[in-house]
Each structure stands twice: as structure tokens, then as C-alpha cells.
Amino acid sequence: MSQLVPAIGFGLITASILAIAAVGFTLQFSVTNILNLAYGDVMTASAFAAYIANHAGVDIWLSLLMAALFGAVFSMLLNRFVYFQFVRRGTRLFGMIIVTIAMSLIIQNVLLAVFRPTFFSYEVSASASYTFAGMILTGSQLAIMGIAVVAMVSVHLLSTRTRLGKAMRATATNPGLARSCGVATDRVIDVAWLLSGALCGIAGVVLVLNTATFSEVTGANFLVPIIAAAVLGGIGQPYGAMLGAVTIGLASEVAASVINPSYKDVVAFAILIVVLLVRPQGILSEVASGKEVAA
Amino acid sequence: MSDAMQFYLSTLLIYLFIDVMGVLGLNLQFGVAGIINFAYIVFVAVGAYTAAVVSLGPDFPGNFQHYLFGASWPFPLPILAAGAASGVLSLVVGLISLRRLRSDYQAMVMLVLSLIATLTATNATGLVNGPAGLANVPQPLFDQLGLPPLEYQWVYAIWAGLLTALTFLFVRGITNSPLGRTLRAMRDNDRAAAALGKNITALRLLIFVVGGVIAGISGAVFVEFIQAWSPGSWLYPETFVFLAAIIVGGSANNWGAVVGALLVPVGFLEATRFLPQDFNLFGRHVVLFSGLVDALQWVAVGLLILVFLWFRPQGLFPERPGRFTPRAAIASAGKGE
């Protein structure tokens, strides 16, 4: 029991990071129907962008914003110059997965070649730690949770209260019909990549803030829980991804403290498998299932 | 030819045979049947581990490495056990993931499976000795043959070549048979194939298992040659080397798979392994940090995939259109005018 309470605290932090990442992942997938397996590597690239800014003397929280900007622009360009080109050439759903994995290999190893195989960390001023009901959390961990809450509320408000959000949901449901109704789907898709990239960038930096060190594979290693959270919530559904993130985050941290820390990701995988076994129809009966690829 | 050169060439030849075997298995799954198996390397790994533990002898306290189920089975058994183990694993994984999932979810599950398998093999140290992996795997019939190492190496190359030839004939037997046509029909339009009464799930499962067995055998032949196997040898990008070989060589073309294996894993990765780590460039002494060549290799593999998907998605040797005479045509020809 004494182990459980701190584990829940860690779980909430993991859930926060996961929520930011998984919502970004699933948002872009729902609008464009491209399963972007280079997502984790864009996270790492953004973390490196923040690292460069941070070590040039920029405050870490400002670096976080710069990483979000970097992630947004990088994702959009990645789509414009690579993914969209392949889609326009007629590469199908499965071909696109290979393209995203090829990009993942390229981004990851270019980072490795540029930054060399070692571990990196940010310069963060030490902050006080706070104790809540037996959970000990540092200032930056509380900030991570705050960022997650703000990000989730923003995504919610954006998709329900703005014309842009409506346009995005319309494009996600039926791109052809949305186009016929006067939605500028090309621009909506650009915005989806920007938004997903910004969340991806934020997730990359907060992930590193929480784990303290990172290398060129940090983001790619985090892809498993992201996918698990997205699939658990029903891929393409932002609210589902939030719920999935909380479940996976709590479950994996509790399991880590009760069983063995190295099996954190195995828990995520087990949940993924169980979801697929128990509710494959929940995943199948998806709005996206019959949809063509819209880059 | 000097002994060193002979060693190098025979090693390269054995690698080529093993890679051809591996690529043929994945080509059957991916190229012919359209099954997305991003965890292919896991089945190679399971074959390798199985062959290793059944030939290493029983584990004992104080052993420098620990593993489950140690035995010292005689020569052909480890390879058969490897094929069987990978086949059984394929069946289990296939039953879970091939059922009714969309192809992109399947891809995702397979990728995750590959990551998790590495994680488990690394962390569960009692299973197959964790991150250090297994070493000192005995080479088959080394003592019985009593050959000097170099000659043994050539014998092993012939043995690997023989197995590869058998695999090739077996795979070609499948692709040229009515079963092969059914598989291609399923790949191109699974609903139409199902409407014609083909059991899509059973066919997918069958090919998944057959490909898994081939992967396992190739892993066994590999580990019995290099005598060591660790989680670092089968990280998930290795599957994409095979996939790149298929895309370059030509999907659903068996000769394409052979050429792809020759070009990508052997020509591309093995040949660059011996690039100098320091050299003079325009009068300046350049020292590469360790890992740079590896990193650039992976970048190149990624670029190779993209370039081929862009310029020549059918590969160097495209799939040959099936030659068949429709029954209606035969019937009308038989009737005369």
C-alpha cells in the first residue's frame, strides 16, 4: 500500500505526458488517415530542438514553446514534402506505413549522426517538491500535469467551439463530403499536422523533463504506450486517447512498482492485446475504416 | 586465394544464403499474400534462440550464461526445433492478430510485438541470458567432421546453400500452385476472394506459419554459424532490411527476393561494415565516431525504401503477370466456331 500511492503519482505524470502525445497522434490520424509511425521520432527531434535552445541559454519553459513550434512546422513539412507526395502518387494505406517507418529510421539516425550516441539532459533550475496525500511531486512534474490539462482543454475547445474544429471533424468523418460542402480540406489537413506536431513537440520535451535524460531513441521507445493509449481509446478519437492515456499511465506505473520497472511497456502491450482480443469490433467499427487516405 | 580472403568470402556467402532464406519467407507473407509482418525478425530470433538452447547443453549453476530448456540434441534436430518453435509462435501470434483487424492495425500490433519481444528477452535474464545473449553455441557436426576451420566454413556454406535452394523450391512450389494464385487474389482483393469461397483467415494463418517456419530455420542456420545471439542482433529495424530487400528486388517475385537479399543486406550492409573509421580527406585527417557508419547505413536503408517506392514501387524484378487460360476460353475453343 505504501508503494501504491507514489506509484499513482508517477502514473498521473506518465498519463499526462501520454495524453498529450496520444491526442496528437490520434488527432492527425483521424483527419488524414495516415498512421504516422515516425511520430516518436518527431518527438525526439523536438526534444533536441529544445535542447539546443536550452543550452543556448533559453529558459526551459520557453524552449518548450520553441519545441512545440518546431514539432508543428516539422510535422507539416513532413506531410507536405514526403507523405502527401506519396499519397498523390497513389501509395496505398500499407505503403504509407512503410513510408512513415522509413522516415522514422531516417530521422532517428540523422539525429544519431548529428548528435552522436550519448545521453542528453536539460538545464532546469531545481524546484521544490510538494507532497500531496503521500505523493511526492516536483515543481516541474506539477507543471507537466498542468500543461497536459491545458492542452486537453484547448483541444476540446478547439474541436467543439470553433469553425476550424468543426471543419476538422468533418474532414475526419468524410473528406469528400467536407470538400463538397466548402471546407478547404487541404488547409484543414495542414492545420491537423501543425496541431498534432505541436502536441508531439510538447510531449517530447515533457517526456525528457520527466525522465531527465534522453537519446535518439527516446521518442521511438515511447511510441508503444502512445499507440496502446490511442488504440485503447479507439484510434482517431481524441477523448478516447485521453482516457486510454490515463489507463495506460496508471496501469504501467502501478505495475512497475508492484512487479518490475522494466516491464512498464509490457503492460501497455498486454492492454493493447486484450483490447484487440475483447473488442476488435470496437476498433473495426471505426469512422475511418472505410475511408480513403487523405493526406 | 589467401586464407583470410577465403574466410571473408565464405562468410559473405553464408550470410547471403541466410538472408535469401529470410527474404523468401517474408516475401511469401508480404509480397504474395499481402500479410504485414513487421515482427518478422522476432520469428528469426525465436528460431535462433531455440536452436541455441537445444544445442548448448543443460544449464548448470555457475554457468556463465543462463537459459531455459538446455539440451544437446544432435545435428539436424536443433534446426527442426527452431522451425517448429517459430511455427508455433506464428500460429499463436497469427490467431491473435490476423483475425479481423484492419491491415494498419495489424502492422501496428506487429511492430509493437517486435519491440516488446526485445524488451522481454533483454529483461527476463533467466530466459535467454538477457542483454548479453547466448554465446558458444556449438557448430553442427564440427567435432564429427574434424575439418580445419576454413574447410568447415566452406562445408557450412554448401549446407546453407542447400537449405536455401530447398526453401526456394518450396516457396516457388507454393507461388506457382493454385494456392499461390489464391493468395495473390486474396492480397489484391480479399473480399472478392472471400466471396468466391476462399477462407481468408485460414489462408493468412497458413502463410503466416509457413513464413514463420522459414524465418525460424534461417535464424537457426545463422546462429549455428556465428555461434552467438543477443537482443542487439534482432532489433525491430532489422525487419525493414528484409522489407527493403523485397521492395528493391521486387515484391512477389522469388528471384527478386534473391537479388534483393544480394543487394540490400549483403551488398549494402555487409560491404560497408569494413569502411575505414579514419581516413584522409582533402589532406585533413578525419576520424569517424563509432556508430556513425551504422547510423548512416540506417538512413540509407530508409532512403532506399523511399526512393524505390517513389521511382520503382514494383522493384527491379516486377511480379510476373500470371499466365492462365480461363476455363470459358478453353471451353469455347473446344467447341470450335
Cβ atoms of A194 and A73 closer than 8 Å: yes
Which tens digit of pLDDT belongs to each residue from A10-65? Answer: 888 989 999 999 999 988 888 888 889 899 999 999 999 999 999 888 888 899 99
**Is B108 in contact with A106 (Cβ distance < 8 A)?**
no
Min Cα–Cα distance to chain A from B298, Å: 6
> Could you give the percent of chain A with pLDDT greater than 90?
32
* A-B contacts at Cβ under 8 angstroms: 126
The DSSP H or E segment spanning B197 is: none
pLDDT computed for residue B150 by the predictor: 85
Q: How confident is the model at residue A107 (pLDDT cuts 50, 70, 90)?
A: very high
Domains of chain A: 4-115+133-290 (1.10.3470)
Q: Cβ contacts (< 8 Å) between B104 and chain A: which residues?
A: 35, 93-94, 97
B123 at interface of A, judged by CB pairs closer than 8 A:
yes
Q: Cβ contacts (< 8 Å) between B298 and chain A: which residues?
A: 105-106, 108-109
**Is A273 in contact with B102 (Cβ distance < 8 A)?**
no
Which tens digit of pLDDT belongs to each residue from A112-129? Answer: 988 887 888 888 776 677
Given the candidates 1.10.10, 1.20.120, 3.40.50, 1.10.3470, the CATH classification of the domain at B3-335 is 1.10.3470
Q: How far is residue B39's CA from residue B45's CA, in Å, rounded to a whole number?
A: 10
Nearest to B123 among A97, A263, A289 (CB): A263
pLDDT computed for residue B124 by the predictor: 80
Among A84, A87, A105, A110, pick the best mutation site for testing chain B contact (most B Cβ within 10 A). Answer: A105
Find the residue in A nearest to B38 (Cα). A98
Among A85, A103, A276, pick the best mutation site for testing chain B contact (most B Cβ within 10 A). Answer: A276
Looking at residue B137, the DSSP 8-state letter turns out to be P
**Is A260 in contact with B296 (Cβ distance < 8 A)?**
no
Q: Cβ contacts (< 8 Å) between A219 and chain B: which residues?
A: none
pLDDT computed for residue B19 by the predictor: 94
Find the residue in B nearest to A277 (Cα). B96
B306 at interface of A, judged by CB pairs closer than 8 A:
yes
**Is A99 in contact with B305 (Cβ distance < 8 A)?**
yes
pLDDT computed for residue A213 by the predictor: 84
**Which residue stretches of chain B have pLDDT < 50?**
336-337
Cα A242 to its chain centre, rounded Å, is 11
Nearest to B116 among A94, A101, A265 (CB): A265
Min Cα–Cα distance to chain B from A61, Å: 31
pLDDT computed for residue A207 by the predictor: 92
DSSP labels, B248-304: HH-TT-HHHHHHHHIIIIIIIIIHHTT--SEEEETTEEEEPPTTHHHHHHHHHHHHH
Q: Cβ contacts (< 8 Å) between B294 and chain A: which residues?
A: 109
Q: Cβ contacts (< 8 Å) between A105 and chain B: which residues?
A: 237, 240, 298-299, 301-302
pLDDT computed for residue A140 by the predictor: 82
Which tens digit of pLDDT belongs to each residue from B233-276? Answer: 898 888 988 998 999 998 888 899 999 999 888 877 776 666 66
Cβ atoms of A199 and A27 closer than 8 Å: yes
Find the residue in A nearest to B35 (Cα). A94
Cβ neighbours for A253, distance < 8 A, ≥ 6 positions apart? A7, A8, A10, A11, A14, A264
Q: What is the mean pLDDT of residues A123-142?
A: 75
Cβ atoms of B193 and B186 closer than 8 Å: yes
A209 at interface of B, judged by CB pairs closer than 8 A:
no
Nearest to B302 among A103, A265, A283 (CB): A103
Q: How far is residue A13's CA from residue B10's CA, in Å, rounded to a whole number?
A: 54
A224 at interface of B, judged by CB pairs closer than 8 A:
yes
Q: Which residues pair with B284 in a beta bridge?
A: B281
Nearest to B309 among A91, A117, A269 (CB): A91
DSSP labels, A178-234: HHHTT--HHHHHHHHHHHHHHHHHHHHHHHHHHHS-B-TTHHHHHHHHHHHHHHHT-
Q: What is the 3-state secondary structure (H, E, C) of B30-46?
A: HHHCCCCCCCHHHHHHH
Q: Is the dihedral of CA A35, A37, A43, A49 positive or negative?
A: negative
Q: How confident is the model at residue A281 (pLDDT cuts 50, 70, 90)?
A: very low
Which tens digit of pLDDT belongs to each residue from B56-108? Answer: 888 887 788 888 887 888 888 999 999 999 999 999 999 888 876 666 677 77
Q: Cβ contacts (< 8 Å) between A119 and chain B: which residues?
A: none
**Is A97 in contact with B289 (Cβ distance < 8 A)?**
no
Which tens digit of pLDDT belongs to each residue from A224-244? Answer: 888 888 888 777 778 888 888
Q: What is the mean pLDDT of residues A102-109?
A: 93
Mean pLDDT score of chain A, rounded to an integer? 84
Q: Cβ contacts (< 8 Å) between A234 and chain B: which residues?
A: none
A279 at interface of B, judged by CB pairs closer than 8 A:
no
- Is residue A159 pLDDT above 60, yes or no? yes
Q: Cβ contacts (< 8 Å) between B247 and chain A: which residues?
A: 98
Q: Which residues pair with B285 in a beta bridge?
A: B280
Find the residue in B nearest to A283 (Cα). B101
**Is B112 in contact with A289 (Cβ distance < 8 A)?**
no
**Is A117 in contact with B289 (Cβ distance < 8 A)?**
yes
Touching A: B residues 12-51, CB under 8 Å: 34, 36, 38
Among A109, A232, A262, A283, pick the best mutation site for testing chain B contact (most B Cβ within 10 A). Answer: A109
**Is A262 in contact with B123 (Cβ distance < 8 A)?**
yes
B288 at interface of A, judged by CB pairs closer than 8 A:
no
B127 at interface of A, judged by CB pairs closer than 8 A:
no
A102 at interface of B, judged by CB pairs closer than 8 A:
yes
Q: How confident is the model at residue A294 (pLDDT cuts 50, 70, 90)?
A: very low
Touching B: A residues 229-248, CB under 8 Å: 231, 235
Q: Which residues pair with A138 in a beta bridge?
A: A129
